[in-house]
């Protein structure tokens, strides 16, 4: 069955889903996106993702041509049309077509694109054994230049760090900020557990405030775990009892070493496993 893609206000076969080569999303990475999971045919935390999409648009002065409710319906219709039970939605809004220049006043017709498909996750064995990380030399973009809270189409910063990770034989890489502090990984947020306290970098460290990150923090509080958003360095990760990542695709996955240093016992820890189980129950609506 040919996938159906929502573009220009309607569902069309994937091979017919096109945008102009003059679109600023293509020419300059001028646009925003969201990645959303589908579990059991239900789009997970859809409202939170839609809200963040519109916040990103507001921050870059991009006028989305449809309402929140229409966007929600477009996502749900695309998932249904593709018969996605468990999968992934990529929601994209571009600035629209314009001239070969940076002036947004010369652009028009912003494009809303919704793609629903299956998803390639981390290998299942990594959830049993945990993953290795290396620290990328590429630092996170300075938040004073572009806020990391904007989920923009320009992910070159993350891609360059991801290349470093794959070159080192790891599936993720840790990124530091301009102060040398821990920010996040190339596509996931990072947490550590130290003496029973759950810690994660604060928003002004140069991170994207992940939807899954926030959901896991809430689950931790409900489980009676103290949660702290704070400044973190690599030393904090080296000496942590546990470490894990969160993300739309990753869910909750343990990290067992960083730059060759074993973290904790070198295996997924009890807090990590507890939160993974709670998160999976949440995705199943339990």
What amino acid positions are annotated as catalytic residues?
A: 151
Where is 138: in which H helix or E strand? none
**Residue 191 dihedral angles phi and psi, to the nearest 5°:** -130, 155
CA pair distance 204, 216, nearest whole angstrom: 19
Largest CA distance in the chain: 57
What angle in degrees, to the nearest 10, is found between the helix axes of 211-222 and 46-59? 130
Tokens of 17: 């889903």
């Amino acid at each position: 069955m040919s996938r159906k893609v929502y573009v220009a206000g309607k569902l069309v076969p994937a091979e017919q889903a096109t945008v102009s080569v003059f679109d600023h999303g293509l020419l300059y990475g001028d646009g925003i996106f969201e990645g959303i999971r589908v579990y059991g045919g239900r789009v997970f935390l859809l409202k939170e993702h839609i809200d963040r999409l519109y916040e990103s648009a507001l921050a870059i002065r991009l006028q989305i041509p449809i309402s929140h409710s229409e966007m929600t319906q477009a996502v749900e219709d695309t998932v249904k049309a593709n018969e996605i039970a468990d999968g992934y939605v990529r929601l994209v809004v571009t600035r629209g077509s314009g001239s070969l220049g940076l002036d947004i006043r010369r652009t028009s017709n912003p494009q809303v694109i919704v793609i629903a498909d299956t998803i390639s996750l981390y290998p299942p064995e990594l959830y049993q054994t945990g993953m290795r990380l290396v620290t990328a030399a590429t630092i996170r973009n300075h938040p004073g230049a572009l806020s990391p809270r904007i989920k923009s189409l320009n992910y070159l910063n993350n891609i360059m760090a991801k290349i470093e990770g794959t070159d080192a034989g790891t599936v993720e890489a840790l990124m530091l900020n301009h102060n040398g502090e821990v920010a996040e990984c190339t596509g996931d947020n990072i947490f550590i557990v130290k003496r029973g306290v759950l810690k994660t970098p604060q928003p002004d460290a140069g991170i994207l405030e992940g939807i899954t990150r926030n959901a896991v923090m809430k689950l931790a509080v409900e489980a009676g775990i103290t949660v702290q958003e704070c400044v973190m360095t690599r030393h904090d990760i080296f000496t942590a009892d546990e470490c894990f990542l969160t993300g739309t695709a990753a869910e909750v996955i343990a990290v067992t070493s960083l730059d060759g240093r074993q973290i904790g016992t070198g295996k997924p820890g009890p807090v990590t496993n507890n939160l993974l189980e709670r998160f999976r129950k949440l995705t199943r609506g339990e």
